[in-house]
Structure 1
Amino acid sequence: MPDLNSPPIAPSIASRPDLDWSQVRETILMLNLSMTQIEMALHDSSSSVGELTDSFTSISGALDAIQQVAGYLPDVPEIQSAKTEIALLGSEVSNKVGQAIVAFQFYDRLSQRLSQVCRNLDDLGVLVNDPVRLYNPYAWVALQQKIRSKYVTEDDKHMFDTLMETRDVQKALAEFMKRKREQQPDGDIELF
């Protein structure tokens, strides 16, 4: 009869293998570690980006106020050059704020992609941890279809399709980059 007061036996791990050790559990552990690192990075950077967003919103508001006050100044020769300088500097700052907003949009897209990677890794871990589904090709196809269905852009879907077809990460990335260059020959930026 087992001793009910003894602590439960922990599952075997790579550093202390026993007959219960499983490379599947180790794989899932490594996937979970990767997901945790991504989530931590997203969390840490999210607060910084939030602060930057607030700062740029404040800068934009202050800039609007400065330009509005400058517009109230009388049109007299003594201050005309100052009004012109305020307008030019305001335009320059406004352009820089616009560039920062575009950078925030790229960060937002990066965050979305990394969050999707975490969800995909989690789904993969669930499949790999299920002995019935692990060896079922239909379960793998279902997972792949689920992952593909969550892609938002056609470029991401095409990259996924290329990877599934060629099984070559470098080819899929090269094709992805080639399509991006062809779509934006003048250096235009696709906003999402």
Structure 2
Amino acid sequence: MSNSNSYNPDLDWTQVRETSKMLILSAIQVEDMLNEADLSVNTLTESFTSIVEHMQAINTHLLALDSCKVRDEAIVCCSETTDKIQASIIAFQFYDRMQQCLQHVTSNLKGLSELVESPNRLYNPDEWRQFQSQIRSRYTMESEKLMFDAIVQGKSVNQALAIKNAHQEEDQSDNIELF
């Protein structure tokens, strides 16, 4: 690859190559943030696991004691805390979903960069259809596929989002899908 760039253009400079560089940069930035976020989520997961284990131990110790008002209130607190922890763990599903979506985005950006950078592929409609087919095949939720189809059909971003949102309202199971 040439050292030519928009600050130092030469005869080899092209908008396509500059576009490709910016697509790769965007993909790398998203991947880097996902890697950093994974460290935080792993710490939270380990912490929640430890808290659950400690709550179970506390509950076991309390159950071994003679029944009294304080013991019974403490058992209720353990139960409520365990429920809150379980709700928090379920909330982590959003992170899993977001991470999968962002991994798709980075993969798509890299693939688009490779396609745009290759003149033989750039001007070949079959290559574009194959690339679009690969993108669509990665989607696991029907709402994502509908949004993709809308964009490929030439609908506006707002129209595509409206289609996706309407489908999600019809099918709330998309919101709790595990990966």
TM-score, with structure 1 as normaliser: 0.87
1:26-52 Cα deviation digits (max 9, x unpaired): 001100110111011101111011000
Q: Is the 8 A contact 1:39 1:118 kept in 2?
A: yes
Amino acid at match of 2:48: F
1:43-81 Cα deviation digits (max 9, x unpaired): 111101100000000001101111111111123xxxx11
1:128 is matched with which residue?
116
1:113-151 Cα deviation digits (max 9, x unpaired): 101111111111111111011011111011000111111
2:105 is matched with which residue?
117
Amino acid at match of 2:37: S
SS in structure 2 of the partner of residue 124 of structure 1 = helix
Q: Distance in 1 between matches of 2:158 and 2:104?
A: 20
Q: Is the 8 A contact 2:143 2:165 kept in 1?
A: no
- Choose between structure 1 and 2: higher helix proportion: 2
**CA RMSD between the two structures:** 1.8
| Cα distance change of structure 1 residues 142 and 177 upon mapping to structure 2, 3 Å threshold | same
Q: Is the 8 A contact 1:11 1:20 kept in 2?
A: no
For structure 2, the 5+ residue unaligned runs are none
Q: Distance in 1 between matches of 2:12 and 2:155?
A: 33
Could you tell me which of 113, 116, 141 is aligned with 1:153?
Answer: 141
Q: Distance in 1 between matches of 2:11 and 2:118?
A: 19
Q: Distance in 2 between matches of 1:191 and 1:97?
A: 19
2:27 is matched with which residue?
35
| Cα distance change of structure 1 residues 126 and 29 upon mapping to structure 2, 3 Å threshold | same
Q: How many residues align?
A: 178
Equivalence map 1:12-161=2 (5 Å)? 12-75=4-67, 80-161=68-149
SS in structure 1 of the partner of residue 153 of structure 2 = helix
Q: Is the 8 A contact 2:2 2:12 kept in 1?
A: no
The range that moved more, 81-90 or 24-33, is 81-90
Could you tell me which of 164, 172, 176 is aligned with 1:190?
Answer: 176
The offset of 1:191, in angstroms, is 3.2
Q: Distance in 2 between matches of 1:171 and 1:15?
A: 38
Q: Distance in 2 between matches of 1:38 and 1:20?
A: 29
Percent of matched pairs sharing the same residue: 42
For structure 1, the 5+ residue unaligned runs are 1-8
| Cα distance change of structure 1 residues 189 and 128 upon mapping to structure 2, 3 Å threshold | closer
Q: Is the 8 A contact 1:159 1:175 kept in 2?
A: yes
Q: Which has the higher contact order (CA 8 A, sep 6+)?
A: 2
Runs of 4+ in 1 over 4 A off after TM superposition: none
SS in structure 2 of the partner of residue 118 of structure 1 = helix
1:135-170 Cα deviation digits (max 9, x unpaired): 111110110001111111222112211222233221
1:67-120 Cα deviation digits (max 9, x unpaired): 111111123xxxx11122112211221121112112211101111110111111
